[in-house]
Structure 1
Amino acid sequence: MAPLLFFIFLLLAPNSINGYTDPSDVSALNAMYQNLNSPGQLTKWSSTAGDPCADNWKGVTCSASRVTQINLSSLGVAGGIGFQLSSLTSVTDFDVSNNYLGNQIPYSLPPNLQRLNLAGCGYSGSLPYSISQMTSLKFLNVARNQLSGQLPDMFGQLSALNTMDLSSNLFTGDLPESFSLLSSATDMYLQNNQFTGTIDVLANLPLKNLNVANNKFTGWVPSQLNNINLQKDGNSWNSGPAPPPPPGTPAAGGGGRNRQPSGNSPSTNGSGGDGKKSGVGGGAIAGIVISILVVGAIIAFVLLKKRYKKSSTDIEKSEDHSFPPVAPQPVEEMKAVQASSTVNTKTFETEDAIDLKPPPFDHHKSFDDDGFSAIPIVPKKVHVAPPDATSYSVADLQIATNSFSADNLIGEGSTGRVFRAEFEDGKVVAVKKIISSALSGAMSDDFIDMVSDVSRLRHPNITELIGYCSEHGQHLLVYEFFKNGSLYDFLHLTDEYSKPLIWNTRVKIALGAARALEYLHEVCSPSVIHRNIKSTNILLDLELNPHLSECGLASLVSDADQASGYSAPEVSMSGQYTIKSDVYSFGVTMLELLTGRKPFDSSRTRAEQSLVRWAAPQLHDMDALAKMVDPALKGLYPVKSLSRFADVIALCVQPEPEFRPAMSEVVEALVRLVQRANMSKRTVGIEQGRSGNQEFMS
């Protein structure tokens, strides 16, 4: 019996040691290989199936059946690394540095990384928010790229990070406050950027090596950083001793999260040689004096306001209704308050018979009870210019659009018209001219804030906001231009010269649009509800990759248009939008791709006017499904792929929102559909011949 067991063990040993690589890891590496244009440097890699662990794919390290490390550094590969890497849940080390990967860093990265190296890859844009969720990350290197804009405040959960290299990029703005939560950071490299502000947020970190050279930092170098390996040349540091810390601020190096600007001033601050202090320090005295002056000024202002309020009746009776000149006496009194370190309430007494002395302060009364409601202090909202968008003038855009001529009109929706614009340098963009009714009142004041939010949405399947215009009462948005137009154009405006979308292109479009929505719903924080998912808002580039437009403009979208056919039932009833109503609208768009029909078509019989109402009951009936397919496909599609596509649609257009899937589940289902599809040679068309095996992948 024992020899038999030993023999069985020998037979099974290779599989138990090498095993078959986890299917999700295989599919992710297959997609990565395709996106890298199947380079010969990646020996043994494959774009379909394969066994990375058992076959020792170049740069791939495994433990049992799971991929744990990917190291493709300096192999000269070019292209992209794909957007399916989040399924590589066992990968802890990911290094693709010093290759030609360009474009944006994909948001979908292995989620449990401890080391991430994307240095020298030619990336632009900003850091993806997915990095903020990598709580195990210890090493992050994105140096020597073209990353730009202000760093998102997303580092609060990266308490394990000990080395971060952001050097030699184009980052701007102040360091995010969440840097102060990098409690394990020992090595930080921020040199050769355009950072501004102070470096106070770094004061209490356990840093050993810090390089902030060649930026635009100002202020004082915190004294806590004077005893580390610090490189700081090429900034505009303040000279001389730093100002004293505010009252109550712990001393430098006292631990905790409190930070203070400090410099090279003596640590004794004028105290005795033993370093001890007696009495009230200079900082405390300054704080007390400032507090007294502020309180005195407020009291003076309140009392003066009461005096003028009393005299308003006499002013109204006067023939001259202009505001009377301010009496000189209160002004002199105010000067006295400003010059004194104590407040003498007698100086506020005037010739009026009314006693203007402030009553004793009752700690149980509200400020309103004491008359403070007469001078509400409302902080003025500051509208910060979008960091990653260009500001255009109305004149610039008028010239580029030929005064917004009808010849340049390329689209029109509920929020405004879209025009083709061409600048003198030949650059072509799309300009959305927002109608005044969509931006009325206070909303107009928030336009810049909205633009800032939209400009931060970065995803390969989302239309990029290039610039904006806000002057003379006009509000315009400038986007990248897509010559192929929208998905609606391809599905519903075809003519005898048009080439219909083949099946695998339709699947690719659905998958790319799903990934864009997944990013808005599940990657952005807080989640972004689109509210206007439809085929006219899915634009196609020259490779027929989808780009979702109108993202971040939910506040401009009016109430649901029930006749459009895209609105979820709950939206039509209550007007309330959620991410699940976006999922429904996406399902309707998928139904458009499958049938080639419009969501609502009044030219059809009453039973077939509403696409969802007509199609939904038949989505699981293969015979009925075959009759529903877009005739333009001419039967060239895999039956299993069609059936699985219909299954996803059925989930998305369920009447009850709680039963609709999350977009990450939709993406996963569509990816599995692509992986399992056995495309027939009958589906090969002109588009496939041009795009090859990448036709399915966005």
Structure 2
Amino acid sequence: MGEKWVIDLRRSNSCSVQKGRTMGLGSREKKMNWRWMEVVSLIVLCILGLKPTSIQAATDPSDASALRVLYTSLKSPPQLTQWNANGDDPCGQSWKGITCSGTRVTEINLSGLALSGSMGYQLASLTSLTNLDMSNNNIGGNIVYQLPPFLQRLNLAQNSFTEGIPYSISQMTTLRYLNLSHNQLQNPLIDMFGQLTSLSTLDLSFNAMSGELPQSFSSLSSISTMNLQNNQFTGTINVLANLPLDNLNVENNRFSGWIPEQLKSINLQTNGNSWNSGPAPPPPPGTPPATRRNRSHDSGGNSPSNGGSGEGQKSGISSGAIAGIVISVLVVGAVVAFFIVRKRSKRSSSADIEKLDNQPPQPHQMTPAQEIKSEETSSTFYPTTFDTSAAINLKPPPSDLHKSLDEDDFAKRAVVKKANAAPINVKSYSIADLQLATGSFNFENLLGEGSFGRVYRAEFDDGKILAVKKINSAVLPGDLSEDFTDIVSKVSELHHPNITELVGYCSEHGQHLLVYEFHKNGSLYDFLHHSDEYNQPLIWNSRVKIALGTARALEYLHEVCSPSIVHRNIKSANILLDAELSPHLSDSGLESFAPNTDQALDHNASSGYTAPEVTMSGHYTLKSDVYSFGVVMLELLTGRKPFDSSRSRTEQSLVRWATPQLHDIDALTKMVDPELHGLYPVKSLSRFADVIALCVQTEPEFRPPMSEVVEALVRLVQRANMSKRTYGNDNAAASPRGGGDMGGEDTP
């Protein structure tokens, strides 16, 4: 008889070991080996099974926090069983609709639960989430400005979402299914679909979206189904022509033009639009034959070769026969065109050839005028090796039969001249006018001075007061008047309530000046850092209002203007305040001659507004503007300068000092501007800090686009219930000041 260990696993919280006796044969060594093996097995099982529930319960803290915020934003609905506003274990407690893998939440399916409220603001931390389905509910507001970044399926259909599609979707390269149908989305589509090459289904139907389809739709290389019906889209659908679509519905929009031939062989629904009747015009010269990118379908598809009832079979002519006819027509047309061109070329040059036969060969020499003519035509026509005096214009036949056969017209189009863009609705001032209005640019009228130039207060005979920015000659030399006119034209087209309006310009005698509207309350920098008895501190509501207005201005420059405009000089000195303390962003559109010298970059970096990547590379982007805006928000929150050498070393850089404390509510309340005297809602303060933390992240790809910043601040205002009556208190805090720092590039 030999002893053997027997494992009793009937108890869940401990492992008991019992001795038993079994019949055993063999040597003593074999018995010892068995004993050791079984003891090791026992230890492993005890480790794994001692507290099985504790392993399952370890939900990632960031995932748990995001779901708690979501639960609260959905108004804590009772139908979400097991959910808890204080719960920390969605995976272990089997919260309704939640699927986990290990400690991470991978799926959220809350479809058809009659949910209301909003989506919260913390879903971006769910980095393992691949499927988010909140369809068939009554959730409203804007779609959350930061969504889980690695989603494969997103379904928010049949809700009450407004505004537009958040820009963060453009970064979801793993997204395969996107359904936002049956909502109240209104904004035009932003050109943001270039990286969504995995997307196979896009459903935007039954909304109120307007505008033309974005060109980045052409990058949807995996798309098979697209539903755009029942919106207000305009323009053509040509951008969809070469997509590998199987199903396309564009009914009940405002599309026009012709339906591309490539789309007529798929399941296509086009009723309820203003399509042009009659045959479509021929493609532009040089356009290759129309082809459609087809995806490799799995077996079982209804292709003609498989005997399916494909669209091509309904006409009774196979697609191969149609292709043969088209090719035959093209070949015959090409041959006819060739002989016509050849005959015309011979006829037009025969007289010139006879003259040349009577002239001796000459070396290749050209007059200056002939050299210019050669430069104009060298990229299009073959070079000649003889003098073309006496108005001789010998050209060989065009090598590309797709090009225009009208040679004279083509020669005219080959000459490209830069057109002077005249400013629209902007007054042209003379130097004499501006000298009179500024007292010959008297120092007493100086409002500010920066790297672009000085800014003066100008009072005209009719009593109107404006601000005149005199551009430094080092920034824009006097001989570049054409470039200055182009800049004026571009800036004159910027119209937004939160952007300082350009009302005029002057370009005389090598001098370049810009004339702007005047804001008597000066700059935000003055209000925050130069407060005096005439300038009372800003209340909290005013600060949020200024942040939101400035964010809207940047959203306009980044996402409405085409092409996008990078401001490059966001700072509190360039945010001017009117009598109602509404912000107006100055220097917009002047990035064309923003200085890029090392000295300027060093100054910007030391001022504390510049993003880290700009300091290293000198390259400004939309995301560097977002960083600078985050610094301005920090100024509004703390009342501190972005860089203050008078403080201790650890507190000189506002971003470095403040960022680690933005998510600690106790530390946050100690950071707040003392001038507020504690008069602010703590929740509003916390959410304001959350937006700052997103904007000033070190890596630019993690900063949100300005449209999402606007959405976050709008929600903050809505939650704080900041009515117009509340804004009325702002006027009590405002007091007229003598002028505003129109330029303000270099803060004093």
With the length of structure 1 as denominator, give the TM-score of the two structures. Answer: 0.55
Q: Does 1:196 align with 2:234?
A: yes
Displacement, 1:532? 3.1
Structure 1 residue matching 2:67: 3-state secondary structure: helix
Structure 1 residue matching 2:202: 3-state secondary structure: strand
Structure 1 residue matching 2:196: 3-state secondary structure: coil
Q: Could you tell me whether the CA contact under 8 Å between 2:225 and 2:245 is conserved in 1?
A: yes
Structure 2 residue matching 1:201: 3-state secondary structure: helix
Aligned match for 1:226, one of 260, 264, 268: 264
Distance 1:583 1:662, change over 3 A: farther
Q: Does 1:56 align with 2:94?
A: yes
Q: Could you tell me whether the CA contact under 8 Å between 1:126 and 1:147 is conserved in 2?
A: yes
Partner residue in 2 for 1:205: 243
Aligned match for 2:151, one of 113, 116, 138: 113
Q: Does 1:531 align with 2:574?
A: no
Partner residue in 1 for 2:48: 9
Distance 1:197 1:64 in 2: 49
Question: Within 5 Å, which residues of 2 pair with 1:447-596?
Answer: 489=527, 493=531, 530-535=567-572, 554-555=591-592, 565-566=607-608, 578=620, 592=635, 596=639
Q: Could you tell me whether the CA contact under 8 Å between 2:650 and 2:657 is conserved in 1?
A: no
Displacement, 1:220? 3.2
Q: Identity across aligned pairs (percent)?
A: 44
Distance 1:495 1:166, change over 3 A: farther
Distance 1:521 1:177 in 2: 17
Distance 1:293 1:34, change over 3 A: farther
Q: Does 1:81 align with 2:119?
A: yes
Partner residue in 1 for 2:109: 71
Structure 2 residue matching 1:281: 3-state secondary structure: helix
Distance 1:517 1:296 in 2: 61
Aligned match for 1:156, one of 166, 183, 194: 194
Displacement, 1:201? 3.5
Displacement, 1:69? 1.7
Distance 2:613 2:266 in 1: 58
Structure 2 residue matching 1:69: 3-state secondary structure: strand
Question: Within 5 Å, which residues of 2 pair with 1:576-655?
Answer: 578=620, 592=635, 596-598=639-641, 608=646, 615=652, 631-632=674-675
Q: Could you tell me whether the CA contact under 8 Å between 1:138 and 1:160 is conserved in 2?
A: yes
Q: Could you tell me whether the CA contact under 8 Å between 1:599 and 1:612 is conserved in 2?
A: no
Distance 1:25 1:546 in 2: 37
Structure 2 residue matching 1:62: 3-state secondary structure: strand
Q: Does 1:102 align with 2:141?
A: yes
Displacement, 1:12? 2.7
Question: Within 5 Å, which residues of 2 pair with 1:666-681?
Answer: none
* Post-superposition CA distance 1:130-170 (Å, at most 9, x none): 22222221211122344445433433332322211122334
Distance 1:65 1:529 in 2: 41
Partner residue in 2 for 1:238: 276
Q: Could you tell me whether the CA contact under 8 Å between 2:98 and 2:105 is conserved in 1?
A: yes
Aligned match for 2:392, one of 343, 356, 365: 356
Distance 1:509 1:89, change over 3 A: farther
Structure 1 residue matching 2:50: 3-state secondary structure: helix
Distance 1:517 1:598 in 2: 21
Distance 1:476 1:75 in 2: 57
Partner residue in 2 for 1:27: 65
Distance 1:146 1:527, change over 3 A: same
Displacement, 1:252? 5.1
Q: Which moved more, 1:564-573 or 1:64-73?
A: 564-573
Displacement, 1:47? 4.9
Letter of the structure 1 residue corresponding to residue 331 of structure 2: G
Distance 1:28 1:247, change over 3 A: same
Displacement, 1:448? 7.3
Displacement, 1:189? 0.8
Q: Does 1:284 align with 2:334?
A: yes
* Post-superposition CA distance 1:529-550 (Å, at most 9, x none): 553343466899xxx9999998
Displacement, 1:174? 3.8
Letter of the structure 2 residue corresponding to residue 284 of structure 1: A
Structure 2's unaligned 5+ residue stretches are 9-14, 16-41, 297-311, 350-365, 370-387, 400-407, 428-446, 456-465, 507-512, 662-667, 705-717, 723-748
Structure 1's unaligned 5+ residue stretches are 300-308, 313-351, 364-370, 386-390, 395-410, 418-431, 456-462, 602-606, 653-659, 668-686, 692-698
Distance 1:278 1:198, change over 3 A: same
Q: Could you tell me whether the CA contact under 8 Å between 2:504 and 2:515 is conserved in 1?
A: no
Structure 2 residue matching 1:14: 3-state secondary structure: helix
Structure 1 residue matching 2:141: 3-state secondary structure: coil
Letter of the structure 1 residue corresponding to residue 248 of structure 2: L
Distance 1:69 1:525, change over 3 A: farther
Distance 1:571 1:202, change over 3 A: closer
Q: Could you tell me whether the CA contact under 8 Å between 2:71 and 2:77 is conserved in 1?
A: yes
* Post-superposition CA distance 1:385-410 (Å, at most 9, x none): 9xxxxx9999xxxxxxxxxxxxxxxx
Q: Could you tell me whether the CA contact under 8 Å between 2:609 and 2:642 is conserved in 1?
A: no
Partner residue in 1 for 2:176: 138
Partner residue in 2 for 1:661: 698
Structure 1 residue matching 2:273: 3-state secondary structure: coil
Distance 1:551 1:357, change over 3 A: closer
Question: Within 5 Å, which residues of 2 pair with 1:310-459?
Answer: 354=390, 356-358=392-394, 377-378=415-416, 442=483, 445=486
Letter of the structure 2 residue corresponding to residue 220 of structure 1: W
Distance 2:347 2:170 in 1: 46
* Post-superposition CA distance 1:182-238 (Å, at most 9, x none): 333222111122333433333343433221112233333334433433211112223
Structure 1 residue matching 2:150: 3-state secondary structure: coil
* Post-superposition CA distance 1:466-486 (Å, at most 9, x none): 9988899999999xx9x9x96
Distance 1:14 1:437 in 2: 71
Distance 1:12 1:355, change over 3 A: same
Distance 1:512 1:55 in 2: 44
Distance 1:375 1:550 in 2: 37
Distance 2:344 2:210 in 1: 35
Letter of the structure 2 residue corresponding to residue 534 of structure 1: K
Point out which structure has higher relative CO (alpha carbons under 8 A, 6+ apart): 2
Distance 1:545 1:80 in 2: 28
Q: Could you tell me whether the CA contact under 8 Å between 2:487 and 2:590 is conserved in 1?
A: no
Structure 1 residue matching 2:190: 3-state secondary structure: coil
Distance 1:664 1:545 in 2: 30
For the aligned residues, what is the CA RMSD?
7.1
Structure 1 residue matching 2:226: 3-state secondary structure: strand
Q: Which moved more, 1:570-579 or 1:128-137?
A: 570-579
Distance 1:498 1:129, change over 3 A: same
Structure 1 residue matching 2:132: 3-state secondary structure: strand
Distance 2:109 2:334 in 1: 56
Displacement, 1:91? 1.0
Distance 1:39 1:281 in 2: 69
Q: Could you tell me whether the CA contact under 8 Å between 2:498 and 2:553 is conserved in 1?
A: no
Distance 1:190 1:11 in 2: 56
Distance 1:599 1:254 in 2: 53
Structure 2 residue matching 1:195: 3-state secondary structure: strand
Partner residue in 2 for 1:305: none
Distance 2:101 2:238 in 1: 43
Q: Could you tell me whether the CA contact under 8 Å between 1:598 and 1:611 is conserved in 2?
A: no
